[in-house]
Amino acid sequence: MSLSYRIGALGPEGTYSEKAALLWIKNRPEAALVYFNDFEGVLEAVQAGRIDAGTVPVENSLEGAVTTVMDLLLRLDVVIVGEVNVPVRHCLVGQGQGDIKVILSHPQALAQCRQYLREHYPEAEIRTTGSTSHAARLAQEFPEMAAVAGADTAEKYGLHILAREIQDASDNVTRFIVAARKMAVATGRDKTSLVIYLDKDRPGALFSILEEFARRSINLTRIESRPSRKGLGDYYFYIDLEGHVDDSTVEQAIAAIKEKAAMIRVLGSYPRA
């Protein structure tokens, strides 16, 4: 690895994306973090070769898929080379002076704390920001504003923790993927992510695809659908499975599916978290 290994994350400093990136590079002292305004910026920089890798969230245990990232993975020429699971412990943070009239955060963070905010701040205006740390930075400026962010983010921006553990369920985990331009080599403990398009909706179409995995005893860990934007009822299917694309059984399953589907694309094979 070069001394200039650069990994992208959603900024500014203090985001959960940054935490995921730091976990990924914890044994790589030569690595440098680069911050972006949104997930699209991270992945476009990977595709263009301006950075070596990027961390973006793909799913949360409370809110499900991060659909923006799923769509980007289909559109851009990048591959998944790793995954990082980050426990998410949201706090309400602010200056601690006066009544809170506005609560800010990333849409995912606000959704994960929906019940708490409704019960404790029913009159507050809820506003979305580009990231949890961006919300914290804004809360620095106005006493009537508070942000949903992590405890360490509050410390970084000189804010008080007004309430801890405000997420709607205690077991709140976000799965981040690490994207790069070159496929990761097999380790023997891998996952593969695919996207499949059936083209025509017919009885048993999806079953016939899933059957190819079942008959080879390939375990599927996730399946999600996303609209193709070609019309109602038309979908792409995102599938995560155990195994590497170079494993013979996975290779055989993909070959069989190519005969049945209009499109199959390997989004990456990578070590399981």
Q: Just list the catalytic residues.
A: 174, 176
Q: What is the torsional sign of CA 229, 233, 234, 238?
A: positive
State the Cα–Cα distance between residues 240 and 120, nearest whole angstrom. Answer: 38
Q: What are phi and psi of 201, to 5 degrees?
A: -80, 120
DSSP secondary structure code for residue 229 in this structure: S
Give the Cα separation of 105 and 15 in Å (integer): 11
Q: Please tell me what DSSP assigns to residue 9.
A: E
What Rg do the C-alpha atoms of the chain give, in angstroms? Answer: 20
How many CA within 13 A on the CB side of residue 49?
A: 1
Q: The tokens of 24 are what?
A: 């990924």
